[in-house]
């Protein structure tokens, strides 16, 4: 479903939201749990693109529900897989996930028959640009969590969630909840309209709504 010009939310992907940016080249943002690649590929095909047109996969962070199908998509399409350097070792199993229960959960993930880690072809850093996409380092949920800005659209991964208002991801899911506040303040200063979270619905008019969250925290006094 096209939710904004050149931005699609691929419905029916299990795990996280999976977004496709089509202009100027095909970029996928997050991939859902393992086993979701066929659904994602058939959506890309339904738009009239061949699989090989997928240029890159950007992972907002290392969690399995976001990177689970990256390896299969990479195998079929040859797309580059990009993640912030601070999360790369978790994807490759070279450093343990935090908080501790994620390390435990990820050891179970390796038993998942369809799961393999992707080959990371590009390490991302704050401020980096790829075509019209800008990488913003927004640590907290994980050390290498990123937000991706595409014109007036922000893809924030698990930085925050939307209920009736914006909320932080619950503390127990985060590596460093105090860093999340700083990251949310960082994106609140940007010029944007549509916020695309890793879970839940995309939010229009989000800049204004995010400022409401800021006023609850009394940002002006800090
Ligand atoms: Zn998630």
Q: Can you tell me the distance from the alpha carbon of 222 to that of 64, in angstroms, rounded to the nearest whole number?
A: 35
- Band (pLDDT 50/70/90 cuts) for residue 222 is very low
Cα(64) to ligand 1 centroid in Å equals 8
Cα(130) to ligand 1 centroid in Å equals 23
What proportion of the chain, given as a percentage, has pLDDT over 90? 69
Cα(22) to ligand 1 centroid in Å equals 23
Cα(157) to ligand 1 centroid in Å equals 7
Domains and CATH numbers, the chain: 2-221 (3.60.15.10)
Cα(206) to ligand 1 centroid in Å equals 20
Structure tokens at 176: 């460093």
Give pLDDT, residue 71. Answer: 95
Q: What is the pLDDT of residues 62-78, one digit of tens each?
A: 998 999 999 999 999 99
Cα(33) to ligand 1 centroid in Å equals 10
> Which residues make Cβ contacts (< 8 Å) with residue 177, sequence separation at least 6?
140, 168, 171
Q: What is the DSSP string of 191-212?
A: --SEEEESSS--BTTHHHHHHH
Residue 221 pLDDT exceeds 60:
no
Give pLDDT, residue 24. Answer: 95
- Band (pLDDT 50/70/90 cuts) for residue 176 is confident
Average pLDDT score over the chain: 89
Cα(65) to ligand 1 centroid in Å equals 6
**pLDDT, greater one: 173 or 83:** 83
Q: Torsion-angle region of residue 200: left (phi > 0), alpha (psi -120 to 50) or beta?
A: left
Give pLDDT, residue 175. Answer: 83
8 Å CB contact between 14 and 21:
no
Cα(220) to ligand 1 centroid in Å equals 30
Q: How far is CA 12 from CA 5, 20, 31, 204, in A?
A: 21, 14, 12, 21
Cα(128) to ligand 1 centroid in Å equals 23
**pLDDT, greater one: 199 or 90:** 199
- Band (pLDDT 50/70/90 cuts) for residue 104 is low
């Amino acid at each position: 479903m096209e939710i904004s010009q050149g931005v699609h939310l691929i419905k029916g992907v299990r795990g996280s939201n999976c977004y496709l940016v089509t202009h100027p080249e095909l970029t996928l943002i997050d991939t859902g749990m393992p086993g979701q690649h066929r659904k994602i590929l058939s959506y890309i095909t339904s738009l009239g693109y061949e699989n090989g047109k997928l240029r890159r996969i950007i992972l907002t962070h290392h969690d399995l529900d976001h990177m689970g199908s990256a390896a299969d998509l990479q195998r079929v399409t040859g797309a580059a897989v990009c993640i912030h350097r601070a999360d790369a070792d978790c994807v490759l199993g070279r450093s343990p996930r935090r908080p501790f229960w994620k390390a435990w959960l990820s050891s179970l993930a390796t038993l998942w028959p369809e799961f393999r880690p992707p080959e990371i072809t590009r390490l991302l850093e704050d401020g980096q640009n790829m075509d019209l996409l800008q990488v913003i380092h927004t640590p907290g949920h994980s050390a290498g969590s990123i937000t991706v800005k595409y014109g007036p659209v922000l893809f924030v991964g698990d930085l925050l969630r939307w209920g009736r208002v914006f909320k932080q991801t619950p503390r127990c899911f985060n590596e460093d909840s105090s860093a999340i506040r700083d990251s949310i303040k960082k994106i609140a200063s940007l010029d944007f309209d549509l916020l695309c979270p890793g879970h839940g619905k995309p939010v229009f008019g989000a800049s204004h709504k995010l400022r409401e969250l800021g006023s609850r925290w009394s940002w002006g006094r800090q």
